[in-house]
Chains A and B, each alone.
Chain A
C-alpha cells in the first residue's frame, strides 16, 4: 500500500489548473498550424493566426488563454494499491481548484444553484470529479477546464440500432451544424458511442483528453472519425463560423458495448482552447 498525502493532491491540482489555462498543448498548436496550411478562407486564416498569437501571449504572460477558465473537470485514475492520507480526497481536489483559480488569476465561473439564485461561488468550486480505480500504486490526475460556450452545444441521441453507422454520422454532423459559430470553431468533436446514456457522454468527454488528431486505436472507430471529420468540414462553418474549411480540427470517438435495444451517441464539443494537463503521482 503506497500512501499519497492530501497536500500532494492539493498542490498538484492547483498547479494543473493554472498550467492548463495558460499553456495550450503542442498537439493543439500543431493542429492549428496544419489547418492554417489548408484553410482557403482569408478570414479563416487570419483567425487561425490569432489563435496561435493568443496562445503565445498566454504562455509568455502566464495569463489564461480564454477568459472562460472553465468548469473544472478532474479525471482521477486511482491505483488500487494507493492509500490517500491526511484528508478527504474530494476536498483535496476542491481545495486545489480553489487555490489554483484564486492564485492564478483565473475566472471563477461557477454558480451555486443552477436554476434559482445562481450565486457565484467565487472560487470555481465545486469541481466535477470522475474517478476510476486502476491497477497499481499510482494516482493519475487530469485537469480539463471546460468552457461553457462549447459545453452548451453538447447533445445526446438515443438512436435506434437500425440507424447504424450512418445514423451516428448524421447525428454528429447535425449537432455540429446546429452549433454553428457558437462553440468557437475550429472545434474538436468528442463522440461517445455505446454504453448507457450517461456513459456515452462520459466517453465523449474522455475522448477529448486524447492528443488532438491522434486516431483511435480501434480501426473501426478511427475510420468513423475520419468520415465524420470529412463531413463536418464540408459544412463550411469554418473558423469562428465565418466560413471556411476548418470547422473541426479533429473528431475523437470512444465506443463500448451497449444494450440490444440501444445505440447511444453523445457529442461533447471542445473549443479550440482545448485545455487539459495531467500528472502521475
Chain B
C-alpha cells in the first residue's frame, strides 16, 4: 500500500501490523541526541525546529553524501533508545515513527492512545534504502554531526507496520508463527 505524509487519522486507522507500505512525501530524521533536544525544547516552551502534527520521524543518522548524491547510506537505527521521549511526541501530534526493533509497553500504549503507527525498515540495508531518498537537508542541530535533525523527501520508502492502533505487533506475530518449542 502506498501512503503519503502527513498521515491522516484515516490512513493510520487503515494500517495493520505486518502490512507493507511505501511511504512518499516529507519525513523528518532524528535519533538519540536530537530527541533529547526536541523534548527539552518542548519542556521549556521553546519553538520547535520541526512540525509534529501528522508527521513521521525516522530514527536514523545518515552516512555523508558522496558528491552528486542526496544522502549516503540511510538505514534505521534501533528504536527503543527513543522510547523515553516518544509518548511526549505522540501527545504533541506525531503520527508515525520509522526505526527497527521492539518498543516499550509505554510506547505501544501511547501508539494506541494517540492513534499513531510504528514502522520498521530493514536494518543494515542503508545503501538500498538511500535510493528512495530524493532530497535531504539538515534543518537543525548541525553541531550533533551524525545526530543532526534532517528533513527528507522520500519516494516509495519501503517499511513494514510493526505496531498499529489496535495493539497489533508484527514482531510478536512473527515469533508466534515461527517459534519451535524445545
- Spell out A's residues near B (CB within 8 Å): 40-41, 43, 47, 50-51, 53-54, 57-58, 61, 63-69, 105-109, 118, 120, 122, 147-149, 152, 180-184, 231, 234-238, 240-245, 271-273
CB neighbours of A244 from chain B (8 A): 174, 178
Asked if A67 and B126 make an inter-chain contact with CB atoms under 8 angstroms apart, the answer reads yes
Asked if A67 and B100 make an inter-chain contact with CB atoms under 8 angstroms apart, the answer reads no
A63-B127, A66-B126 are contacts. A108–B175 as well, Cβ < 8 Å? no
**Alpha-carbon gap, A146 to B142, bound state (A):** 24
**Alpha-carbon gap, A245 to B127, bound state (A):** 25
Nearest chain A CB to B69's CB is how many angstroms away?
8
Nearest chain B residue, comparing its CB with the CB of A177: B175
Interface of A: prevailing SS: loop
Nearest chain A residue, comparing its CB with the CB of B130: A63
Asked if B160 and A63 make an inter-chain contact with CB atoms under 8 angstroms apart, the answer reads no
Asked if A53 and B128 make an inter-chain contact with CB atoms under 8 angstroms apart, the answer reads yes
24 residue pairs from A and B, CB less than 8 Å apart: A54-B124, A54-B126, A57-B131, A61-B66, A65-B127, A66-B73, A66-B124, A67-B74, A67-B126, A105-B65, A107-B62, A120-B146, A181-B120, A182-B100, A182-B101, A231-B182, A235-B175, A236-B176, A238-B174, A240-B123, A241-B101, A243-B178, A244-B178, A271-B124
**Alpha-carbon gap, A109 to B61, bound state (A):** 9
Asked if A67 and B171 make an inter-chain contact with CB atoms under 8 angstroms apart, the answer reads no
**Alpha-carbon gap, A139 to B147, bound state (A):** 36
Nearest chain A residue, comparing its CB with the CB of B62: A67
A51-B124, A271-B124 are contacts. A236–B175 as well, Cβ < 8 Å? yes
CB neighbours of A152 from chain B (8 A): 78
**Alpha-carbon gap, A140 to B179, bound state (A):** 42
CB neighbours of B72 from chain A (8 A): 63-64, 67, 105, 107
Asked if A61 and B177 make an inter-chain contact with CB atoms under 8 angstroms apart, the answer reads no
**Alpha-carbon gap, A57 to B72, bound state (A):** 12
**Alpha-carbon gap, A237 to B176, bound state (A):** 9
CB-contact partner of A120 in B74, B120, B130, B144, under 8 A = B144
**Alpha-carbon gap, A53 to B126, bound state (A):** 11
**Alpha-carbon gap, A63 to B175, bound state (A):** 33
CB-contact partner of B178 in A40, A69, A120, under 8 A = A40
Chain B interface residue count, CB cutoff 8 Å, equals 47
Asked if B63 and A105 make an inter-chain contact with CB atoms under 8 angstroms apart, the answer reads yes
CB-contact partner of A236 in B60, B64, B178, under 8 A = B178
Asked if A105 and B62 make an inter-chain contact with CB atoms under 8 angstroms apart, the answer reads no
CB neighbours of A242 from chain B (8 A): 18, 120, 160, 170-171, 174
Asked if B124 and A65 make an inter-chain contact with CB atoms under 8 angstroms apart, the answer reads yes
Nearest chain B CB to A272's CB is how many angstroms away?
5
CB-contact partner of A63 in B63, B122, B125, B145, under 8 A = B63
Closest CB pairs A-B (n = 7): A243-B174, A236-B179, A236-B178, A120-B145, A184-B123, A182-B101, A67-B73
**Alpha-carbon gap, A234 to B175, bound state (A):** 10
Asked if B146 and A108 make an inter-chain contact with CB atoms under 8 angstroms apart, the answer reads yes
CB neighbours of B100 from chain A (8 A): 149, 181-182, 184, 240-241
Is B86 an interface position by the 8 A CB rule? no
Is B33 an interface position by the 8 A CB rule? yes
Is B137 an interface position by the 8 A CB rule? no
Is B96 an interface position by the 8 A CB rule? no
Nearest chain B residue, comparing its CB with the CB of A62: B66
Asked if A67 and B179 make an inter-chain contact with CB atoms under 8 angstroms apart, the answer reads no
**Alpha-carbon gap, A67 to B126, bound state (A):** 6
Is B24 an interface position by the 8 A CB rule? no
Task: List residues 147-182 of chain B with CB under 8 A from any CB of chain A.
Answer: 147, 160, 170-171, 173-182
Asked if B78 and A243 make an inter-chain contact with CB atoms under 8 angstroms apart, the answer reads no
Asked if B123 and A245 make an inter-chain contact with CB atoms under 8 angstroms apart, the answer reads no
**Alpha-carbon gap, A238 to B177, bound state (A):** 10
CB neighbours of A61 from chain B (8 A): 66, 127
CB neighbours of A148 from chain B (8 A): 77-78
